[in-house]
A and B are shown apart, each in its own frame.
Chain A
Amino acid sequence: MSTPIGSMLAEARRRAREHADFDGFVALVPYARFLGLRVEAQGGQLRMRLPYRRELIGNPALPALHGGVTAAFMENAALLHLLLRLDEDRIPKSIDFAIDYLLSARPQDCFAECEVTRAGVRVVHTQIRCWQDVPERPIAVARAHFLLSYPE
């Protein structure tokens, strides 16, 4: 039986797949909306964008984006990637997340792509890469485990 969020997810997924309209998807996750995250389709690959704004700065002296923001953006990227790629009718639960920072994030847009390394019945392993100028020069890489179905 489909849950209320399940039917909303299904509708958002349909609009995303048929019309490449991802706004409904981001709207379902309040914190993704707070960050201002956008989903874009880039030649069959899902790409997330975090448009720069001043409120995302962590160190104004450098200046650099807040490290937590980069991490949160990548966690959102993985979550939205799973919601779009898998047909889950609930929001997957985060088990853990580990990020390695490679370069300071400058005050400009960030991009992220996610890869599902392994999708088990209950647990999914994902790898996320975040960059600003070119994908070959990542500012951070991360991995995350998600739990798909679990007893209430």
Chain B
Amino acid sequence: MDKSTFHAALQQRFADVTPHVAACGMQLTAVDDNGVEAWLPFREEWLGDTERGLIHPGIVTVLVDSACGAAVLARIADLERIATLDLRMDYLRAGLRDHDIHCRADCYHLTPSIAFVRASVWQQDRALPIAVSQSAFMRAGRRGAAAIA
């Protein structure tokens, strides 16, 4: 499968192959050679603080982990099983009620064994991220790879 076919399949089947991504209503809105953009529509269920109407950081981590995994696959452009080794989140500002959450994840370095990824999360303005993240993934070969294509 060529790269653009794989990217199109990844974008389309992202939710189909990942039950938790489907359960959250998350979608990939763009896939390119280095990474992806993901979109998570707002739900009241995402709140951590109802008094102040703040998004729970946990759901932001779910979005980031999903987008970063997809970014690694976009960069590899082939079916492969990957596993998160570590992931760090910095919560720069509070996520607010009633606004969707967007994430850009880039796999900025890839070795035969490891993928390094950074990501940024925002709501209304891409220039005002609510969180940034850094993570590393292990490449574990084709066995057990989710069937994307």
Chain A residues with a Cβ under 8 A of chain B: 3-5, 28-35, 54-62, 65-69, 71-73, 75-76, 79, 90-91, 93-101, 104
Contact = CB atoms under 8 A, between A and B. Distances in A.
Nearest to A147: B91
B121 interface: no
Chain B contact surface mostly: mixed
B44 A30 contact: yes
B83 interface: yes
B19 A57 contact: yes
B48 to A, nearest CB: 5
B40 to A, nearest CB: 11
28 contacts: A29-B56, A30-B45, A30-B48, A31-B56, A32-B56, A34-B45, A55-B19, A58-B19, A58-B20, A60-B18, A61-B81, A66-B18, A69-B20, A71-B61, A72-B58, A72-B62, A75-B58, A90-B51, A91-B48, A91-B49, A93-B54, A94-B91, A98-B88, A98-B89, A99-B87, A100-B86, A101-B84, A101-B86
B106 interface: no
A112 to B, nearest CB: 12
Interface stretch (B28-36, B63-71, B110-118): B63-71
Given A34-B45, A59-B144, A69 B88 contact: no
The listed residue with most B CB atoms (<10 A of its CB), out of A65, A76, A91, is: A91
B100 interface: no
A143 to B, nearest CB: 10
B17 interface: yes
A51 B112 CA distance: 36
A65 B90 CA distance: 23
Interface residues of B, number: 43
B65 A67 contact: yes
A33 B146 contact: no
A95 to B, nearest CB: 6
A72 B48 contact: no
Nearest to A97: B89
Contacts of A28: 50
A92 B147 CA distance: 40
A54 B20 CA distance: 8
A29 B94 CA distance: 16
B23 interface: yes
A60 B20 contact: no
Given A97-B89, A100-B85, A29 B19 contact: no
Contact of A61 (B50, B87, B91, B144): B144
